[in-house]
A = this chain, B = another copy of it.
């Protein structure tokens, strides 16, 4: 939990570019290659790094439109939530789904090719799950990433 500063530096670098060579990473953190290599291995083994992945541009893939769908479920039971997630989260347009406290029970983020595709997903796929009481769709105008998790928590 209390990670040495060197590991924070490694994580920042890997977040910026996960394909950095171990050599460059080592020279950036000022350690030997073998040491750096070992630290990365331990971070992965410890589950601090959950995966190395590629960020893709939705627009470049023909899905320039993003939206947030806020869903209210009834009855409010753990099982209803799980069933709902299982039903919608596999759809190709779903980026992620978040289970929340408050009015909205689940919030789904989608990337779609058009407003027609959005309508199809929201009005057909989502509202066809019986436990969905109501939905509200909001257009995403802009999305900004924060500093990332590698920074010091506070």
Contact = CB atoms under 8 A, between A and B. Distances in A.
A127 to B, nearest CB: 18
A79 interface: no
Nearest to A95: B146
Contacts of A139: 100-101
Describe A's contact surface by its main secondary structure. mixed
Nearest to A10: B54
Nearest to A82: B142
A152 interface: yes
B55 A51 contact: yes
Contacts of A154: 92-93, 112-113, 117, 120
Interface of A: 1-3, 11, 14-19, 46-58, 60-63, 68, 81, 85, 89-102, 104, 107, 109-113, 117, 120, 136, 138-154
